Structure 1
Amino acid sequence: MTPYSTTTTLADTARFLLLGDSHAGPVGRAAKAAGFPFAGGPVGAGRDFHADFFDLRGGDVVFRGEETEELYRGFLGELEASGIDALAERGVPLVCTFGFSAHFVATTANWDVYRLADGGFAPGFLTGKLFDELVRATVRGALAFYAHARGLGMRVVSVMPPQRVPGMSDPVVFGAAQDVMRRALIELGVDVVDLRERVTDREGRQRPEFSEATDGIHGNLAFGRLILRELLDLGL
């Protein structure tokens, strides 16, 4: 008889590849706690994934950050894949948080030149073409990454950030910037997990039960569980 093995590996069972900044952490923790098979996790800080941060090598991407590239190759190894193009051929979806660190985009000082004398913005500025173009230019690397993955035929899901605005950032710019990013991703055919109505208070801020208690930016495990549930509802 010909010997055979019934052993399954992560490469056989993984439901998605997770790539992102620190906002990907709660998603990964929730998936691990639930015994949900996936590969990946955070590969850098949010500010690392706005401007140009990768190059192309054939259909694969090569991250310019040494540590990010090392982590990425390790995750691909777990999936027994040679590159993101190989994952696309196998139909492994991508879950990503790149570009959604809106608190960096909303750094207050960066927008002072556009303010009126009273510190506010002209009516329509935050919903206008100039603001849209400025935000898209700031996150151009992330948008290019998503566009490449979609061009390979990958199913791509992006996760919006916790609604937590640190003191360095302008809350109104934060909200408007993430809306621009969301629209841009939908235009690319990316599914966007948007939990704002489910996790915020009347002022639009993340409720404590979905916030990491040790800092002012991240979501917690409960937030990650909601995201995981949404991923399941999307068919991942």
Structure 2
Amino acid sequence: MTTPCSTTTAPARFLLLGDSHAACVGQAARAAGLPFAGGPLGSGRDFLGPFFDTDGAEIRFRAPEGQRLYREFLDALGAGGLAGLPVPLVCTFGFSAHTVATRQNWDVHRDRRGDFPEPFLLSAFFSALVRAMTRGALAFYDHTAALGLRVVAVMPPQRVPGMSDARVFHAAQDVVRDEIAARGVEVVDLRARVTDHSGDQRPAFCLPDDTIHGNLAFGRLVVAELLDRGL
């Protein structure tokens, strides 16, 4: 899923960088006539482990296609790099919670009944594991914080595919949210508005024939939140 740079001639209001969860945000912004630059640079798993290198204040994505798109997005803003970025950065890096929650990653931590010990998902050990699994994204937010950028991170649709453990999904995204917020990032959390009593995303905000992504309606809620924050 890709969202190209905005082609509007109006000044962009923000730079959108992320994984496939950024697609519906870009689609909703375009539908609303909200000028922006950016879009997805790859899939969610690409931005959990180390995915970029630094050269002073600037970064370089290790994946050639990601680097090409990144430079294209910056060119649309007339920006040489993240340092001195003229608009806020909207990002979804690190919130590929369904990947972190892949069942086989956590089997070693289950008891004989196949359950987690009661305190496990709230433990410092669990948090440390999640931080290790998302260290690339956390390093990215460390870098943006060092540059003094205004960054708004968007939490993922509350959709847990069969390959993932729902309890780990919900607990892991909370760890990532808290870690990112501790770095001075504003977090868009729409869970109270898009989920049912079980915590699952309601069908009205789900992309049809898809087990992971939000739809245009979900993207519109994100865009409304961005506008409320002055973007």
Aligned residues: 225
Aligned match of 1:120: 115
Distance (Å, rounded) in 1 between the aligned partners of 2:32 and 2:228: 15
Separation (CA, whole Å) in 2 of partners of 1:12 and 1:213: 32
Percent identity between matched residues is 63
Measure, in 2, the Cα distance between the counterparts of 1:21 and 1:194: 17
Counting only pairs closer than 5 Å after superposition, residues 84-163 of structure 1 correspond to structure 2 as 84-87=82-85, 90=86, 92-163=87-158
- SS of equivalent to 2:106: helix
Q: What is the alpha-carbon distance in structure 2 between the residues aligned to residue 221 and residue 123 of structure 1?
A: 37
Residue 34 of structure 1 aligns with which residue?
Answer: 32
Deviates more, 1:116-125 or 1:17-26: 116-125
Distance across 2 between alignment mates of 1:191 and 1:227: 13
Flag the 1:192–1:146 CA change in 2: closer, same or farther, 3 A. same
1:10 Cα deviation (Å)? 6.3
Secondary structure class of the residue paired with 2:83: helix
1:100–1:178 contact (8 Å) kept in structure 2? yes
Could you tell me whether the CA contact under 8 Å between 2:10 and 2:35 is conserved in 1? Answer: no
Query: How much has 1:12 moved relative to structure 2?
Result: 6.8
Instruction: Report the equivalent of 2:3.
Output: none
Structure 1: 4+ residue segments shifted above 3 A: 9-12
TM-score normalized with structure 2 length: 0.95
Q: Which runs of 5+ in 2 are unaligned?
A: 1-6
Provide closer, same or farther for how the CA distance between residues 11 and 156 of structure 1 changes in structure 2, counting only shifts above 3 A: farther
- Equivalence map 1:16-35=2 (5 Å): 16-35=14-33
Structure whose CA Rg is larger: 1
